Structure 1
């Protein structure tokens, strides 16, 4: 924690009674500094997790994200072919994120915010190496999980031909755009998912609403998310419509670049900037 003293909103109004101060505190929204410190503390705990724990949690998240494609496929196949169908189908995309985030599983794009706040705070080589370790482990585990669930969806025979056709239709947009268009789409996705992580500490008893609202926008905008979209891309690979090199160059590389830019530059750095005057250590903090 920093060496600075943070005043609560009520503490800045000395004319209030104790009861009135408590009422003000109850009604006040969390400050940017409080949200920052809450997320940074979470990031510190993630950086301390063992390799095995990170890999298992990341694998679980990758598998779970397959439920987004499952939910979308079921809705797409069961709803009439109407102009509003894609708006309803997009709600299926939120299912995987709901389970992953509320279940505290490790998702790469969420991790573009939480540990980066620790890096911006400490600004040392040790923290940088810990962040890179976390990113590498979680991303590899996430992608392994998405590939496995794609194999099950493509070859497991769990769903009928109509659902399989819906999976195919829904997966194709993941690799349809040119490289730099995919990068830009991924910037928006990284921005929204990291913003979601920033909003969750202040969401009170309704974190599900924040998750659904922001991931729904990702789905409707067809923005590129490196984990959720990998389920789609690996499904196309397993059905013979995409090569591994195509997955790497048409989806993985541009999406990874965009997600990191959106999460780190547009959310972590900017939100850190607004909270920095209150959370940075005082000059004599180490004395």
Structure 2
């Protein structure tokens, strides 16, 4: 067997650089990706609360650019069947800022922060996960709430842009609680795929983020943090109550994102390499 292996190696005439390229490509397998994402998740779980709070708050503020980008494109395009194909690109704006800027977004942590717990399950690790989730989600939502108040007071943008953002936000009201949760599942799955794909993106991170988030918008899927900005804006404008925004729009999207991100993507990503760890 060893001789056969040597023969096979000898049959392939590669330079040192070519062999290095083969080795580099071969290293990006599922087990390696799992370890890269798991180690990053472990770093997130170990971050000080102060760091998590400010990073999550910044992410909540920055993700509001998605509502601005989508509403600007929709307001400038004619009312045609193809309009969503273009306007949905604007939705990716906030995600590009947040993800490439390495800010703390709740839905990314439904994969990255879960893998350390799945790999080494313990009450201590579960407590670290719940601490991370609680802080990040809370301050993501506070960030989007602050921007919603600023938009309503026309401290950001113009009155026309405020009206355009409200038009986009009203689409949330087309779905009941259960439908919103179901729409949250694919959004959670797609966003959880981002930290899994980025280590293998090899300089194409922008396109990974753009593609995945574009299809969240195109499918009308529910993302808890980006959608919270729309829900808060409707509440700030007096069209719904803040309790309705939280209980009927944000909470079902949250459950759907957790199901899609943790229940589907994270557990499936972990299961495929569990026996190799």
TM-score with structure 2 length normalisation? 0.92
Determine the C-alpha separation between the residues in 2 that align with 1:82 and 1:133: 46
Unaligned runs of 5+ in 1: 1-9, 280-287
| 1:22 equivalent among 20, 23, 28 | 20
1:13-162 superposed matches below 5 A: 14-15=9-10, 19=16, 21-28=19-26, 30-162=28-160
Query: What residue number does 1:221 align with?
Result: 219
Native 8 Å contact 1:188 1:259 kept in 2: yes
- Report the aligned-residue RMSD: 1.8
- Using a 3 Å threshold, how does the CA distance of structure 1 residues 22 and 108 change in structure 2: closer, same or farther? same
Q: Aligned residue pairs: how many?
A: 269
Determine the C-alpha separation between the residues in 2 that align with 1:261 and 1:36: 19
Unaligned runs of 5+ in 2: none
Native 8 Å contact 2:154 2:162 kept in 1: no
Query: What residue number does 2:165 align with?
Result: 167
Native 8 Å contact 1:77 1:162 kept in 2: no
Task: Please identify runs of 4+ aligned residues in structure 1 that moved more than 3 A.
Answer: 13-18, 26-29
Determine the C-alpha separation between the residues in 1 that align with 2:218 and 2:266: 24
The CA deviation at 1:162 is 2.6
Determine the C-alpha separation between the residues in 2 that align with 1:130 and 1:260: 17
Bigger CA drift: 111-120 or 20-29? 20-29
